[in-house]
Homo-oligomer: A and B are copies of this chain.
Amino acid sequence: MVAAPTQKITPFSSIRIDKDASTPIYLQIAEAVGSLLASGVLLPGYVLPPERVLCEQFGVSRMTLRQAMSLLDREGLIDSRRGVGTIVRPSRLRKHQQEMRSFSEEIRERGGHPGSRLISVELAIPAPAVRDLFELHEKQRIYEIQRLRLNDGEPLALELARIPERLCPGLERFDLARSSLYEILEQSYGLRPETCNEEISAEIPSSQQRKLLSLPARTAVLVINRKTYMDDGRPLELTRSVFRGDRYSSVVHSVRKNKSILQATSS
């Protein structure tokens, strides 16, 4: 028997790092390990090799490796415990942030085909509450875009979007029936939503809503009021969507309150 300079074969052995690439090393590692996790090569409960072993395999320093691991930890993919080791977390616990989706994106994710029918576009005088939200002057107007949203050709929601004219003058020239409102805002005006705030409630539909949504009798509607903000904190859009209660439900993913750097503010 010859003393071989062996290294245990692990799923990590195949990972190759390019130190001269433009993407940082820690990102390369995080992505490589992340795809091992996503592909199911590493199952929940799998114990990762110790950091120092991985450092050697990848040929990087420990701080760099830990930077990669911290990314994976942040997303809830792995769980490191001092004195013990690092394991792969159950996929149910992977903490995907609650993400904004446009109507179209959401429908497509559910496997449907989104559609739209434009009902009206107006330049209106905002109600006082709306004017306050957008911090508008007395005479500034807002676009009010009313659309019927379809799923596989069937009416699913009635949507009223409100955007200040100041942010996107000339918006009415675009084909709002066919194009995504968010795409127009981003590509033609450089306006990009960053966060949003939704209030979800249940209501009995009005007779007009019942007609437009082709609602059967004794059906409730799910009403979602959404405020959208840009990355500088300014409000971008205020939307009220009325969904058919028999065909739509909203899904929310939450995590247990985690220690925050901030004190809990009494709002």
Contact, CB under 8 Å: A98 / B99 = no
Contact, CB under 8 Å: A256 / B35 = no
A229 CB contacts on chain B under 8 angstroms = 92-93
Docked complex Cα distance between A266 and B245 (Å): 26
**Nearest CB in chain B to that of A94: its residue:** B262
A208 CB contacts on chain B under 8 angstroms = none
Docked complex Cα distance between A193 and B49 (Å): 29
- Set B75, B195, B201, B252: member contacting A260, Cβ < 8 A: B75
Q: Which residues of A in the span 180-215 have a Cβ within 8 Å of any Cβ on B? A: 192-204
Contact, CB under 8 Å: A74 / B75 = no
> CB of A84 within 8 A of chain B?
no
Chain B min CB distance to A195 (Å)? 5
> CB of A37 within 8 A of chain B?
yes
> CB of A261 within 8 A of chain B?
yes
Contact, CB under 8 Å: A265 / B201 = no
A30 CB contacts on chain B under 8 angstroms = 261
Contact, CB under 8 Å: B98 / A233 = no
Docked complex Cα distance between A94 and B31 (Å): 26
Contact, CB under 8 Å: B195 / A222 = no
**Nearest CB in chain B to that of A223: its residue:** B202
Contact, CB under 8 Å: A100 / B220 = no
> CB of A38 within 8 A of chain B?
yes
**Nearest CB in chain B to that of A196: its residue:** B254
Q: Which residues of A in the span 240-267 have a Cβ within 8 Å of any Cβ on B? A: 243, 245, 248-258, 260-263, 265, 267
Once A95-B195, A98-B254, A254-B198 are accepted as A-B contacts, the answer to whether A245 and B203 lie under 8 Å apart by CB is yes
Docked complex Cα distance between A250 and B253 (Å): 13
Question: What mask results when residues 41 to 79 of chain A are scored 1 for a CB within 8 Å of chain B, else 0?
Answer: 000100000000000000000010000000110110100
> CB of A232 within 8 A of chain B?
yes
Contact, CB under 8 Å: B77 / A256 = no
A258 CB contacts on chain B under 8 angstroms = 97, 99
A97 CB contacts on chain B under 8 angstroms = 95, 97-98, 254-255, 258
> CB of A120 within 8 A of chain B?
no
**Nearest CB in chain B to that of A110: its residue:** B267
> CB of A90 within 8 A of chain B?
yes
Q: Apart from A192-B256, A197-B251, what are 10 other A-B pairs with CB-CB below 8 Å?
A: A72-B261, A75-B262, A98-B98, A99-B256, A99-B257, A99-B258, A100-B256, A194-B255, A199-B252, A201-B222
